[in-house]
Amino acid sequence: MIHEHSTCSRTTAMVASELYYWHDTLNWCGFFEPSLTCQPREHFENPETKRRLQNLLQASGLWEHLSLIKPHPAEDAVIQMVHPAAHIAHLTSVCASGGGETGQLTPAGPASLDIARLAVGGVVAAVDAVIGGKADNAYVLCRPPGHHALPEMAMGFCLLANAAVGIRHAQRTHGIRRIATIDWDVHHGNGTEAIFLEDPEVLTISLHQDNLFPPASGGIGVRGAEGRNLNIPLPPGSGSGAYREAFDKVVLPALEAFAPDMIFILSGYDASAMDPLGVMMLSSEDFRWMTQQVMQFADLQCAGRIVVTHEGGYSATYVPYCGHAVIEALSGASAQLTDPFDAHIANYGGQALSHDQGAAVERARAAYFD
């Protein structure tokens, strides 16, 4: 049973396609190529996390309260707002040869570039819907993810920088000037940082596990043009207390100081307590809370304009609950869905803010504001 809250119900666009789940990451062992010492199995970035999120949305009834948008492939001219023609040509060559490694730890199958174009096109469609007033906010349930992709290199399971292209589209097509990004994937959003590092009209914020991936990336000393890049590296084991402290002391004050016209959330769920590629301790309620904080700010500052892109998250069991919580918050409709894991995760030792976590947040705050 869905209950819509009359005071906060919104039109949330959902961009999804069965073809997103057909992106082939080959039979790699986790994220390594099979070898005589690495038995073939399944790549971590496989369809199940996102397909099961869609399944849960449909099973709970929330899916019926979303405004569905069919994505269309992005043209080269759109992609080239971020990526040079040489990068597109390289991906074309790899896929045309049957697939393989496209960059750093980023395998692709024969149809993967076509599907990556569809992912970018989905973000562009979400931007058009939100700015055009057809939706209050939007969620793009896309594969492959995008926040590690550099302009000239695929990296970390990401072929094209989906959100970054959407941001350039918002700027150049719709005239939206100041855009903020908030990336709470457990891995540093290095691609987004690199693309906008010299653009003072884009604020890039990344909360991530300290020095997880890419190696030696995501430090607090990288500031960019006019100091518009904000990294918040958190110690391994950080949970609810650390992330809420980071939001209260750093993220929300930075948003207020920047005063964006639109916000992108790069929503990875690998900072959850059940993820195999991170050692953080968030629950679905933490992702809901962070989304609500951004929404409250966006309502006051930028007419609620938010586009969410689905990035990482590798627990097929738990990603659906985290994503469902975010989409519930965006839509203002409640599916009355109980996360069966939430109480267990909330009771994990170390959820409260620790001294070292508080010190890490303070270092990020001081590096940005002082």
Q: What is the pLDDT of residue 194?
A: 98
Considering the domain boundaries, does residue 107 fall inside one?
no
101-134 pLDDT, tens digit per residue, is: 999 999 999 999 999 999 999 999 999 999 999 9
**Please, which pLDDT band fits residue 335 given cuts at 50, 70 and 90?**
confident
Domains: count for the chain: 1
Considering the domain boundaries, does residue 71 fall inside one?
yes
Q: What is the pLDDT of residue 9?
A: 80
CATH of the domain at 59: 3.40.800.20
Q: What is the pLDDT of residue 72?
A: 98
pTM, 2 dp = 0.97
Using CB atoms within 10 A of its CB, is residue 176 exposed (0-12), middle (13-18) or buried (19+)?
buried
Considering the domain boundaries, does residue 106 fall inside one?
no
Which residues are catalytically annotated? 148
Considering the domain boundaries, does residue 136 fall inside one?
yes
Considering the domain boundaries, does residue 269 fall inside one?
yes
Considering the domain boundaries, does residue 192 fall inside one?
yes
Considering the domain boundaries, does residue 36 fall inside one?
no
Its domain, for residue 354, covers: 3-21+44-89+122-369
Q: Are the beta carbons of 268 and 311 closer than 8 angstroms?
A: yes
Considering the domain boundaries, does residue 94 fall inside one?
no
280-303 pLDDT, tens digit per residue, is: 999 999 999 999 999 999 999 999
Percentage of the chain surpassing pLDDT 90? 97
Using CB atoms within 10 A of its CB, is residue 153 exposed (0-12), middle (13-18) or buried (19+)?
middle
Query: Does the CA dihedral 280-285-291-292 come out positive or negative?
Result: negative
